[in-house]
Amino acid sequence: MSADIAAPRSQRLDPKYVRARKSRGSFEMIAWLFMRLSGVALIVLIFGHLFANLMLGEGITGINFGFVAGKWADPVWMFWDLAMLWLAMLHGTNGVRTIINDYAEKPVTRVWLKGILYVATIVIVVLGTLVIFTFDPCIPGSTLSVCQ
């Protein structure tokens, strides 16, 4: 009584129509999960950053070299800014990668746009990381205790 009906698309398609053939493994799923996890972390990091820099004290008028020196004298703010830099850049890069995949149709255009994106990301992440770790608050005539 029971007819053996093959499940849809089970080995019945010409291989040239099988889209899943060139599988990229679980990369896209990990990228999707990363956007959600880093997004939650970035809300805490960026809201804290904006509150400390723009809402407290003198707000934007108080931001100058001395303000940065004061913040980065504290390892917590160094780590805060480092985490914010890396997570925001990776989150933003993956977002723009998705947009390029959606709108750039010619393979050569996609390769070029993503190439420019990835080079920009590497330059900004490396530059920002070096700035955080090599920052020197001691300018001539500084009265900061670390410079005495």
Partner 1 sequence: MSKASSGTLYRGHEGMWSWVGHRVTGVVIFLFLLVHVLDTSLVRVSPGAYDAVMSTYKNPLMALGETALVAAIVFHAFNGLRLILVDFWKSGTKYHRQMLWGVLALWVITMVAFSIRHLSIAFGGH
Least distance from partner 1 to the Cβ atom of residue 51, Å? 9
Least distance from partner 1 to the Cβ atom of residue 45, Å? 11
Question: DSSP assignment, residue 13?
Answer: S
Note the residues at the interface with partner 1 (CB under 8 A). 36, 39-40, 42-43, 46-47, 50, 54-55, 58-61, 63-66, 68, 85, 88-89, 92-93, 95-96, 99, 120, 124, 127-128, 130-131, 134-136, 139
Nearer to partner 1, 62 or 111 (CB): 62
SS3 content of the chain, % helix, strand, coil (to 5): 70, 0, 30
CB of 84 closer than 8 Å to CB of 49: yes
Nearer to partner 1, 118 or 135 (CB): 135
Nearer to partner 1, 31 or 89 (CB): 89
Nearer to partner 1, 8 or 141 (CB): 141
CB of 41 closer than 8 Å to CB of 85: no
Least distance from partner 1 to the Cβ atom of residue 19, Å? 23
* Secondary structure of 71-114 in HEC code, one letter for each residue: HHCCHHHHHHHHHHHHHHHHHHHHHHHHHHHHHCCCHHHHHHHH
